[in-house]
Amino acid sequence: MTRYSLLLILALQACGTSDDAPASVQRFAGPVDGTTSLVFVLLDGDHLNVYACNGEVDGVFEWFAATGDTSVTSDSGNASVDVDIGDEATGTLTLDGTAHPFTAAPSALGFGLYRGVAAENGDALEAGVILLDGTEQKGGVGARSSSTLTVSPSPAITTGQTSLLFNNVNIPLVNAASMYLR
C-alpha cells in the first residue's frame, strides 16, 4: 500500500463513516425516475451528501456535498440536485440538462451507500455502491488519472461487505453512517 492510499483511507475513516449512525442522521435511497440511476441522500445536521450512479461504463457517477443548502451542483459540475427531506427524501436530479424526479425511502444501516477510496499506480480510485435492498444495487468505481475520470461498473457487493476487488486493487468500503467530506 502506498503512503497516498493509506492517507486516503485514514481520511475517509476520520470523516464520519462508521457503522453507528448518530440519531440526527437521516439516510435515504431510491430510484431516479426516467433513468437507470439510483440516488443516496444523507442529511447530518445541516450537512448534505448525495451520490447518484447507474452502474454503467462512463455512466452516472455524481457526488454532491453542501452545508446549509439542499440545492447543490455535483463535484464534477455535470449534474445538480434539489432535495426536500421529510419522511422520505424527494427531489430532482438534473443530468445533461434534463430534470428527473426521485423519491428515496429511509435506508437502514447495512443498506444505502458503501463508499471507499484507494490508490494504485498514481490513480485515485473511488467506489460508490448503493444497495436498495438485498437484490437491487448500482455502483461505480471512478479512476482519476490527472484530470481524466474513467468510470466502470463496480462488482456486486453484499450487506456488510468491507471491501471490493477492482482490477486487482482491494478498495476498503464503509457503509456511510454520517456526513463524509468530499
Where exactly are the structural domains of the chain? 3-14+111-175, 25-106
What 3-state DSSP class applies to 12?
A: helix
For position 10, what pLDDT does the model report? 33
Is the pLDDT at 104 greater than 80? The verdict is yes
Q: What is the CATH number of domain 25-106?
A: 2.40.128
What 3-state DSSP class applies to 139?
A: strand
pTM of the full structure: 0.86
Position 111 confidence tier, pLDDT thresholds 50, 70, 90: very high
Q: Tell how strand 71-73 and strand 61-67 pair up.
A: unpaired
Beta strands in the chain, from DSSP E residues, in sequence order: 25-31, 38-44, 47-53, 61-67, 71-73, 79-85, 89-95, 98-106, 112-120, 123-131, 137-145, 148-153, 163-166, 169-172, 174-175
Of 16, 24, 2, 19, the residue nearest 112 (C-alpha) = 19
Position 73 confidence tier, pLDDT thresholds 50, 70, 90: very high
